[in-house]
């Protein structure tokens, strides 16, 4: 008897509130101001999203100095250091800050604890844009801790005045292991007022934990520079999946991965549009995996308002349009 083939589809998956806000910010900026609109760094870490916005007239640059003087520039969802805002002012740039509000929360915590003269142990990956931005808020106070193995290397001024913060897109389990190791070294270590790892990262990891033990293969749709997507692959493997693969597009699927498989788990990182997931499900259906079961961990309803600079200009444009229509 042939065993039933099925797909376990994680819920939630894909876009989080911060990513949706950032992508919509660039789309509305293009509609309002016209092309080109410059974006410092990738607005979110997803190849497909970046290519789609480039096709509409967005120009992605690595540094502020690449933006022509007086032009419009959007800061990515990952946040920037204060020096970047200063550079933009010097070039008379019109800035729209699309930093995720949950990242802004970590920036605010870093400034507050630095003002109180704490040593700040920032758990995160060296070179990640979010870590660079947060570190820039208080570089003389922040020590980067890149996982549990890095704990032994940290030196602080006063072991009784130490706080930990974290990058928002990390593995929850690994972060807690790092915190435990830090607490062994610094028993009076203070925790942030609320968890820095964002709700969306946690929910997507929890959904994968639920489906992974039943899955022969777990497919994670996401880009390799997406921290939260890479973590989902790790979580799937740690939670019992037979194998797990990170793919940008449905075309990246190797059909050989499914040899002997009866259950395939599917999820996507927080910067991945749903149409890519639908494409993956179509490929799986073509291989006999047409039975899709939803594995729900949480229902997400959080939304964020657009950046204040963009809201202001949208209101002004609406008033102008209304006045012209009535004249």
What residues are annotated to the active site? 130
Instruction: Give the distance from CA 22 to its chain's centroid.
Output: 11
- Output b/e per residue, 266-302; b: 16+ Cβ within 10 A: bbbbbbbbeebbeebbebbeeeebeeeeebebeeeee
DSSP run (H or E) holding 192: none
Q: What are phi and psi of 96, to 5 degrees?
A: -125, 115
**CA–CA gap between residue 37 and residue 26 (Å, rounded):** 8
Q: What share of the chain is helix, strand, coil (3-state, %, to 5)?
A: 45, 20, 35
Q: Is 292 left (phi over 0), alpha (psi -120 to 50) or beta?
A: beta
- The two structure tokens encoding residue 147: 């996982």
Instruction: Map tokens 């010097």 to a residue.
Output: 90
Whether the Cβ atoms of residue 122 and residue 138 lie closer than 8 Å to each other: no
Alpha helices in the chain (DSSP H): 17-33, 47-56, 82-90, 101-115, 129-135, 172-185, 199-211, 227-238, 274-286, 308-326
Which of the 8 DSSP states describes residue 250?
A: G
């Amino acid at each position: 008897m042939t065993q039933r083939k099925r797909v376990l589809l994680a819920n939630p998956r894909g876009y989080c509130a911060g990513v949706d806000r950032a992508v919509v910010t660039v789309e509305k900026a293009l509609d309002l101001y016209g092309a080109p609109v410059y974006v410092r760094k990738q607005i979110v870490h997803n190849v497909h999203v970046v290519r789609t916005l480039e096709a509409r007239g967005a120009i992605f640059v690595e540094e502020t100095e690449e933006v022509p003087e007086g032009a419009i520039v959007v800061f990515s969802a990952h946040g920037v250091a204060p020096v970047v805002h200063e550079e933009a002012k010097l070039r008379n740039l019109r800035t729209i800050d699309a930093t995720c509000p949950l990242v802004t929360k970590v920036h605010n915590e870093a400034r507050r604890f630095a003002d109180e003269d704490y040593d700040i142990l920032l758990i995160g990956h060296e070179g990640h844009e979010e870590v660079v931005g947060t570190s820039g808020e208080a570089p003389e106070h922040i020590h980067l801790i890149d996982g549990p193995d890095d704990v032994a290397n940290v030196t602080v001024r006063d072991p009784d005045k130490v706080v930990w913060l974290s990058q928002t897109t990390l593995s929850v389990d690994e972060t807690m292991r790092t915190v435990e190791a830090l607490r062994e070294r610094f028993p009076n270590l203070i925790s942030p007022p609320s968890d820095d790892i964002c709700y969306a990262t946690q929910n997507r990891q929890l959904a994968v934990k639920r489906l992974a033990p039943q899955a022969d293969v777990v497919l994670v749709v996401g880009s390799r520079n997406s921290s939260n997507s890479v973590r989902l692959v790790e979580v799937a493997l740690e939670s019992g999946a037979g194998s797990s693969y990170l793919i940008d597009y449905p075309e990246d699927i190797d059909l050989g991965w499914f040899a002997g498989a009866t259950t395939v788990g599917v999820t996507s990182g927080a910067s991945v549009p749903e149409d890519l997931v639908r494409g993956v499900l179509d490929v799986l259906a073509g291989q006999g995996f047409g039975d899709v079961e939803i594995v729900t961990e949480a229902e997400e309803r959080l939304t964020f308002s657009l950046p204040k600079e963009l809201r202001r200009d949208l209101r002004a444009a609406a008033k102008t349009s209304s006045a012209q229509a009535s004249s």
